[in-house]
């Protein structure tokens, strides 16, 4: 039995840094989300396009051998983006346009936050989350996560995320997802 990986340091990755590590990051993503390996090639163009969005930022946890143990990224959400439009449609259908407008205005989309399964439960996800959201120039943060009792759910609840939309099915994934949100900054962090 091998020892669980530990992260040695957190680093902020530029778009060029992430491009160089894209296959490694996508393999981590596929492992954490339990997607088929073929998802790596399907997601690469999307991750590359996300790097071009306003206020994009990325944080990674690296082990002593400089291997990714965790990664998170996001950007300013806006009308016309796929996720924004999917969530808006879902919110309008269950809560009305006013609620959708309130949540989907001046927000940072926490697009990806993943920790290798063999390194979960050690605080890496929360450390990545806090570092990624520190100083974000938006009033709130939104994310989607698969429904169910997972470590990710416990993390998001512990950090104060609330339900925005539950049991939503995004195009292309049969699982039900929850959209969660909260105001920024996180507790104890300066505005």
Closest C-alpha among 177, 32, 36 to residue 117: 32
Output the six-digit token pair for 158: 């512990």
Listed in sequence order, the residues at least 6 apart from 83 whose beta carbon sits closer than 8 Å to its beta carbon are 77, 109, 111, 144
Listed in sequence order, the residues at least 6 apart from 94 whose beta carbon sits closer than 8 Å to its beta carbon are 165
Output the six-digit token pair for 76: 């300013």
Closest C-alpha among 72, 80, 33 to residue 56: 72
User: Is 156 annotated in the active site?
Assistant: yes
Q: Are residues 77 and 136 in contact, defined by beta-carbon separation less than 8 angstroms? A: no
Nearest 10 degrees: CA dihedral of 40, 170, 161, 46? 30
Catalytic site residue from 73, 107, 156, 168: 156
So which residues are the catalytic ones? 156
């Amino acid at each position: 039995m091998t020892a669980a990986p530990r992260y040695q340091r957190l680093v902020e990755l530029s778009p060029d840094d992430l491009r160089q590590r894209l296959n490694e990051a996508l393999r981590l993503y596929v492992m954490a989300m339990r997607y088929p390996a073929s998802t790596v090639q399907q997601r690469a163009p999307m991750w590359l396009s996300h790097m071009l969005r306003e206020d994009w930022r990325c944080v990674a946890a690296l082990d002593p051998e400089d291997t990714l143990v965790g990664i998170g990224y996001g950007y300013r959400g806006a009308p016309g983006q796929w996720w924004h439009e999917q969530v808006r449609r879902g919110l309008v259908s269950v809560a009305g346009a006013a609620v959708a407008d309130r949540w989907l205005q001046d927000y940072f989309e926490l697009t990806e936050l993943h920790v290798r399964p063999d390194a979960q439960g050690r605080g890496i996800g929360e450390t990545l989350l806090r570092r990624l959201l520190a100083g974000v120039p938006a009033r709130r943060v939104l994310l989607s996560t698969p429904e169910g009792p997972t470590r990710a759910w416990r993390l998001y609840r512990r950090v104060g995320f609330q339900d925005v939309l539950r049991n939503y099915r995004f195009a292309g994934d049969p699982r039900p997802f929850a959209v969660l949100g909260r105001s920024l900054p996180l507790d104890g962090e300066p505005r």
